Amino acid sequence: MTPYDLPLPNVDPLPPAHPARRAAVIVTPGTITYLLSIPWLVMQTLPPEKHRWLVTLCAEEPGNIRALGGFDVPVSAGLEALDDADTVLMPHWTDPGKVPSPALIGALQKAADDGKEVAGLCLGAYPLAYAGILDGHRAVTHWRFARDFRARFPRVELDPKALYIDDRNRITSGGIAAGNDCCLYLFRKHEGAAAANDVARNMLIPPVRDGGQAQYIDEPLARTTPSARLNLAMRYAEEHLREEITVESLARVASMSPRNFARSFRKFAGETPAAWLRILKLRKAEELLETTDLPIAVIAEDTGFQSPVTFRQAFQAAKTVSPQSYRNTFRTEETRSGIGK
């Protein structure tokens, strides 16, 4: 047992006398307190004393700031706290369509120009993008907002499958819980793997999570269209998934030429027939991995893949984890969740 295996104190610990680094966390109205707490837990509360950072909450207008759920967050520092910080974190942003104030944009731009690490957790990537400091950089945000983000900020190289990305001191993370991964990464980057592993143990989370955000993405899949012929072909594909299905075979079911079928399918379903069929197969595979004990080879056959190898390759490419890793993460049985143990 180490000193940081002991129960957490029921009062706020004193700030470290000699912080390893300084982090400024920007609080905005409507912020999610879970995301707000992650930097404090990872960087100031749980690490061994010599690795603790000084985490300062700051805001454009200090005072009691109302967070999501009605919580009041007392903030005493203004945006001038960014001047003394090594790392600046934007833990959330409530409205993707809201442009930050000139004061906040200017503070973020100055921090980036000064060479500081600037991080946006979850939708916190939006203020960074509005400030222009992600232009020409790789970035990620919550996968549900990927299409909106890409449309608003075409100069940002968005990778919605990643858990977090560090591109030349511009750090962004995926959906909510990816903030844990991102802050642990920042802590590990500066304090080393041993200290980060201790923090992860206390938080009961893996030091480095397998795969990326892609394994959680629920890709849209059209089930019906305004065309009765296309709907007939879709139902046929779902009912004959084990068989070899081609655009030509689906076109025959729809009584259409392959060219006309492909053109109409893309127009009404939003995907090419091949892309739609790939999503359909993977969606069915996810269901079987989550709810059955069927061997991987059987699932590959049931979902129409040519072989278990082909299935594993397709699944890994789409979800960034193997089918077995996905099953281990998403199994729902009580025996897998540890309930009653």
Same structural domain, 162 and 25: yes
Q: Is the pLDDT of residue 210 over 80?
A: no
The answer to whether residue 4 scores a pLDDT higher than 60 is no
Amino acid at 115: G
**Percentage, residues of the chain above pLDDT 70:** 90
Strand-strand pairing, 170-173 and 164-167 = antiparallel
**Whether residue 282 has pLDDT greater than 60:** yes
Residues 279 and 250 in one domain: yes
Do 186 and 262 belong together in one domain? no
Question: Could you tell me if residue 145 is inside a domain?
Answer: yes
Residue 185 sits in a domain of what CATH number?
3.40.50.880
Is the domain of 282 the same as that of 147? no
- Going by DSSP bridges, is the β-strand pair 170-173/117-120 parallel, antiparallel, or unpaired? parallel
Task: Assess if residue 222 is contained within a domain.
Answer: no
Token representation of residue 108: 């973020």
Give 17's contacts (C-beta < 8 A, 6+ positions apart).
none
The residues, any chain, with a CB within 8 Å of residue 2's CB and separated by 6 or more, are 48, 198
Last residue of a domain, one of 214, 245, 262: 214
Q: What is the mean pLDDT of the chain?
A: 89
In a domain, 107, yes or no: yes
Tens of pLDDT, residue by residue over 136-178, are: 999 999 999 999 999 999 999 999 888 899 999 999 999 999 9
For 316-341, write each residue's pLDDT tens digit. Answer: 988 888 999 889 878 755 434 443 43
pLDDT in tens, 171-208: 999 999 999 999 999 999 999 988 998 999 899 888 88
Q: Of the candidates 214, 239, 274, which is a domain's last residue?
A: 214
**Boundary residue ending a domain (150, 183, 214):** 214
Number of structural domains found in the chain: 2
* 160 and 268 inside one domain: no
Q: How far apart are CA 237 and CA 221, in angstroms?
A: 13
Same domain, residue pair 121 and 171:
yes
Give the tens place of pLDDT for each residue, 255-279.
999 999 999 999 888 889 999 999 8
pTM for this predicted structure: 0.71
Mean pLDDT to the nearest integer, 92-120: 97
Query: Is the same domain home to 316 and 172?
Result: no
| Parent domain of 182 | 3-214
Count of other CB atoms within 10 angstroms of residue 8: 11
